[in-house]
Amino acid sequence: DVEDKEEIREGHVYVGPSNYHLLVERGHFALSADEPVMHARPAIDVLFESAADAFGKDVVGVLLTGMSRDGSAGLKKIKASGGFAVVQDPETAKDGRMPAAAISAALVDRVLRLEEIASFLVELCVPRGVRHDRRQGQHSSRR
């Protein structure tokens, strides 16, 4: 689990602890025990909105299955900041209410099946002319 004020490092996946809002600040994470948002703590909107504030156009928000509207306002803020929004196709989600709410409320750049999201993110985030070697976890330039 992420710890309060933990540095954000490239190439890592982070998981927020239960019962805390996870916020993104320039260069590190912050944890908050503030009141639940839409009956949830952690709330996706809190995470997405703080990421948009910290990184603007460099944020990619990905919203997956869920049963509330949480995430819709955060994706709107990501889009307003120039970032990119990806939502799981509600038809392929275990519970499609959250992605459907985001699609109807926010400007969404891509709606993808769950199995398409990882490869799309690699495509989106790895510069053109660079390929990823899955066996070694390394990037190398194409020549």
Encode pLDDT of 105-139 as tens digits.
Answer: 878 999 999 999 999 999 988 876 665 555 455 55
* Domain assignment present for 56: yes
Task: Tell me what percent of the residues of the chain surpass a pLDDT of 90.
Answer: 78
Evaluate whether 46 touches 72 at the Cβ level (below 8 Å).
Answer: no
pLDDT-derived band of residue 13, with 50, 70 and 90 as boundaries? Answer: confident
- Contacting residues for 119 by C-beta, under 8 A, at least 6 apart: none
| Nearest in space to 66 (alpha carbons), one of 40, 84, 27 | 40
Looking at every residue in the chain, the average pLDDT score rounds to: 90
Over range 61-76, report the average pLDDT.
94
| Nearest in space to 75 (alpha carbons), one of 40, 111, 39, 41 | 111
* Domain assignment present for 122: yes
**Which pLDDT does position 98 carry in this prediction?**
94
The structure's pTM equals 0.85
Over range 39-67, report the average pLDDT.
95
Domain that holds residue 25: 21-126
CATH number of the domain to which 116 belongs: 3.40.50.180
18-28: pLDDT as tens digits: 999 999 999 99
* Domain assignment present for 10: no
Evaluate whether 30 touches 3 at the Cβ level (below 8 Å).
Answer: no
- The total number of structural domains in the chain stands at 1
